[in-house]
Amino acid sequence: MRLINVFLIGLIFYADPAAAIDLTTSFEFNDSSDSFTLGDAPNTIVFSNGEAKSIGVLSLYHSGSRSWMIDDGNTGVITFTTPARELSFFIRSAANNTGDLRVYDSNDQLISTDNSTQNWLAITITISEGEPGIGKVEFQHTAGSSYVVLDDFIYTAEVPLPQDQALEDPLPLPIVAGMATVQLEVLATGLVAPNWGTVMPGNPDELMVVDQPGMVWAIHVDSGERRLFLDLSDRLVELGITGPESFDERGLLGLAFHPNYPENGLLYTYSSEPVDATADFSTLDPGIAANHQSVVIEWAVATPSDPLATVDNSSARILLRVDQPQFNHDGGCLAFGPDNFLYLAFGDGGGADDSDGQEFIDAPITGHGDGNGQNAANLLGTLLRIDVAGNNSSNGMYGIPADNPFVADTNKLDEIFAYGFRNPFRFSIDSKTSALYVADVGQNDIEEINRVSAGGNYGWNLLEGSFSFRPNGNEEGFVLPPPEPVIEGLSLPIAQYDHDEGVAIIGGFVNNGDSARQLRGLYVFGDYSGRLFYLTADDIINEVSIEGIEGSLDKPLLGFGQDARGNLYLMSNASGLPFGNEGTIYRLLDSSDDNAVQKAYIAYYGRPADSGGQDFWVTQLMANDSKLSSIINTFGNSAEFNDRFGMLSNSQLIDNIYQQLFARAPDAGGKQFYLDSLNSEKRTLQNISLAILSGAKGNDALIIANKLAVSRRFTANVDDSSFEYNGIEAANAAKALLDQVNTDLEHGFQLVDSFLAGDSL
């Protein structure tokens, strides 16, 4: 037995922050000894009768490129020096029903059992206070060949923190690199601080971009050419809270076009303006001056069918004017829903902690009372829903939909759709599902995403994220463990991260376009620090890898845009300030040649490329106008390819392609189509593989994205000798193994993978 120094990589999912995480690992190291120990005394863990390793079979790693593997006939054992209070991990088998899991308490009493299958199974066990902790886990490989595997292991030994003790690290597990890589292609430069991009109905060729100092730019989505569509900079407060070239959250913050814009020419903006008229809503006591006013304006274009039309500045009609106590937390996003009503986001009014009294920018915070976020009798900290064509509001300038959730509640404003927000700077509505995503910027600890429904209360300032929030006078507010039970009537975020990972969330869109296909159907967002994220189908935050960039952007991320085709754009500038001319719009595109090479290796060899092969074939693709066909024939004539597939019938070949690529059998129609093509020699197996890859949609596309991401990690972390193919000896061994398991073709090919790729990974 030996103690290993390990670089531990965690899986992102929610663990109880009331307890400290003592160890998290996805086994990203090799250890073939009978037993190894992880952790620090007294909370050490012994893993016996298994190996931490990779065998080149991508489906056997829940994350990363390694897992803890237990060979046929063995029983892996995990024992804890200090009994566990919480355990979380994932198990699966190379074949169904070959792994029995047993969990025992510290008195050796059996407390839980499970059986592994060919799908990943999440195991989470929590022991109540006063009960014996978890003392041992056994994972027995009962039958068959290959392996049963365990991955992404999280162990907690400590007891919950006192309820009044601030959490230093609320979410200890890091955000991991996800299974998607994109390119960023510059679309336009020379802006100031672009923060939002939306669609002008009837004009699919231009992205309408909000620039914080007061301009709306129409940018052609193909050429990048831009024209000034609206300039309201002369209406805004003077930006820069401490003078020119200083930070500011005010400005032009929102833009939405009426769904019937081609006929009526109407659009709407949200801007920060001087206090020069009586507000429709205010939280300030009489005689207390507002910092500025948030103003929602309707504008008109006289000839909306003219592709070069601009806004008539004299057409401004003010719908709503709201006093803002401080310079920050304005919210500012606008969007029309599928119901043709306008949704508007307001922050809590600024300052800190959403409470009066403490000093902020050399002045005491006012205009919050006991907290605007929880006071639905005013507009601050809310998401509104209004009818721009109506007039039954208190100021007569807009209408209130009859089905708004609080119309019959005399204690809440009729305009409010949902409340309990701190700074919902960006929200968006999925054009396919109508799901409404609000990214709420946090205070000092937690950034959150909410999937919002009518009448919801999203917690601020009782909660920050899912955590209890404690205002702290003139000191920074902090979070405590989540309330148990959850406070009645509060809705929790669907995803959150802490300030180990970023500083302020920047909400984005669900990607419904044809570019960045690995992210299709997923909510894409980021952090002001420059990181790009997405939500998985299970609402887990993963980081998007940006081709050619190590880690995050080297400049602030300011916003996102989505064009009429559903494609996404990222916006940034060099300083994060509303000054200068370095604002840039990037288009999100599919990653390029490296993905093509890895796809070919996965399809034809069932393994990733080594770094030498990767570099060589990327160079070949670049020299051949990036067409994958330039390497198909070479791959198809290789010894490794022929030894791998030469003994199979055409029917088995088609089955294997689908199993290898998507872990499923082909549908009957697809199999027959490709089998006919292969039998008639109209297509080669290589061309069929490429066609199947290129047509991947839905879950199949996500599986390919998974495999590509793992492949890139392999390529980056192994030397070139790892995949050396040793010819007929390996092929004969593979064939012999296939003969032994010919009733289970997929299982057999996993074994072939093991032999051809080698355990040296």
Q: Which helix (H) or strand (E) holds 636?
A: helix 629-636
Could you give the number of structural domains in the chain? 3
What are the pLDDT digits (tens) for 704-751? 666 666 665 556 555 444 444 444 444 344 334 333 333 333 443 344
Say what the pLDDT of residue 640 is. Answer: 67
Computed from CA positions of residues 654, 655, 658, 660, in that sequence, does the dihedral angle turn out positive or negative? negative
Dihedral of the alpha carbons of 734, 736, 737, 739, in degrees to the nearest 10: 120
Query: How high is the pLDDT of residue 431?
Result: 95
pLDDT band at 267 (very low <50, low <70, confident <90, very high): very high
Residues 30 and 115 in one domain: yes
Is residue 87 located within the same domain as residue 218?
Answer: no
Regarding whether 185 and 317 lie in a shared domain, the answer is yes
Residues 606 and 562 both lie in one domain: no
Distance CA 383, CA 371 (A): 16
Residue 163 located in a structural domain: no
Let me know: does 95 contact 129? Beta carbons within 8 Å: no
- Per-residue model confidence as pLDDT tens digits over 357-369: 888 887 899 999 9
Q: In 10 A of CB 433, how many CB atoms?
A: 11
What confidence score (pLDDT) does residue 629 get? 52
Is the pLDDT assigned to residue 17 strictly greater than 80? no
Mean pLDDT of 588-611: 70
Q: Is 222 a domain residue? A: yes
Q: Are residues 586 and 599 both part of a single domain? A: no
35-40 and 2-3 as β-strands: parallel, antiparallel, unpaired?
parallel
Query: Does the structure show a pLDDT above 90 at 202?
Result: yes
What residue numbers bound the domain in which 680 lies?
A: 593-757
3-state helix, strand, coil in the chain (%, to 5): 20, 35, 50
What is the pLDDT of the chain when averaged over all its residues? 84
In this structure, are 627 and 577 located in the same domain? Answer: no
Q: What is the DSSP string of 414-464?
A: TTEEEE--S---EEEE-TTT--EEEEE--SSSEEEEEEE-TT-B--TTTEE
pLDDT in tens, 486-500: 899 999 999 999 999
With respect to residue 121, please indicate whether it lies within any of the assigned structural domains: yes
Is the confidence at residue 688, as pLDDT, over 90?
no
pLDDT at 473: 83
- In 3D space, the residue among 699, 594, 607, 700 whose CA is nearest the CA of residue 691 turns out to be 700
Residue 473 resides in a domain:
no
Is the separation of the CB atoms in 560 and 569 below 8 Å? yes
Asked which of 86, 121, 156 is the last residue of a domain, the reply is 156
Structural domain includes residue 484: no
Q: Which residues contact 726 (CB under 8 A, 6 or more apart)?
A: none
pLDDT tens digits along 274-304: 999 999 999 999 999 999 999 999 999 999 9
How remote is the C-alpha of 751 from its chain's centroid? 34
Interatomic CA distance for residues 568 and 207, integer angstroms: 10
The pLDDT score that the predictor gives to residue 664 is 79
**Pair (620, 522) in one structural domain:** no
For 671, the 3-state DSSP assignment is helix
Query: How confident is the model over 121-163, as pLDDT tens digits?
Result: 999 998 887 789 999 999 999 887 678 999 999 998 866 556 5
* pLDDT for the residue numbered 636: 59
Strand partners, 299: 267
**545 in Cβ contact with 154 (< 8 Å):** no
**628/685: higher pLDDT:** 685
Alpha-carbon span 142 to 101, nearest angstrom: 10
Examine the domain organization and report whether 584 and 600 are in the same domain.
no
Cα angle value 365/368/370 (rounded, 5°) = 120
Residues 145 and 212 in one domain: no
> Taking a C-beta distance cutoff of 8 angstroms, is the pair 160, 481 a contact?
yes
Q: What is the spatial distance between Cα 15 and Cα 169, in angstroms, rounded to a whole number? A: 12
Same domain, 193 and 133: no
pLDDT value at residue 207 = 98
DSSP alpha helices (H): ranges in 496-607? 593-605
Residue 166 domain flag = no
Whose tokens are 């009489």? That residue is 286
Q: Which of 572, 590, 608 is the last residue of a domain?
A: 590
Q: What percent of the chain has pLDDT over 90?
A: 57
CATH assignment of the domain containing 112: 2.60.120
Q: Order of strands, edge to edge, in the sheet holding 292-300?
A: 252-257, 266-273, 292-300, 317-324
CA distances 162 to 20, 21, 89, 166, 459, Å, are 12, 16, 27, 9, 22
Distance CA 634, CA 630 (A): 8
Task: Looking at the structure, tell me whether residues 582 and 597 fall in a common domain.
Answer: no
Q: Return d(Cα 138, Cα 110) in angstroms, integer.
A: 10
| Three-state DSSP state, 178 | strand
Q: How far is CA 362 from CA 241, 348, 359, 445, in A?
A: 12, 19, 6, 23
The answer to whether residues 70 and 139 touch, using CB atoms and an 8 Å cutoff, is yes
CATH of the domain at 275: 2.120.10.30
**559-573, 630-644, 710-724: which has the highest mean pLDDT?**
559-573
- Tell me if 171 is assigned to some domain: no
Of the three residues 156, 185, 215, the one that is the final residue of a domain is: 156
Comparing CA positions, the residue from 104, 55, 54 lying closest to residue 75 is 104
HSE-CB for 501 with a 13 A CA cutoff? 27
Q: What is the DSSP string of 371-405?
A: -STT-TTSSTTEEEEEBTT---STTSSSB--TT-T
Q: Are residues 586 and 642 in the same domain?
A: no
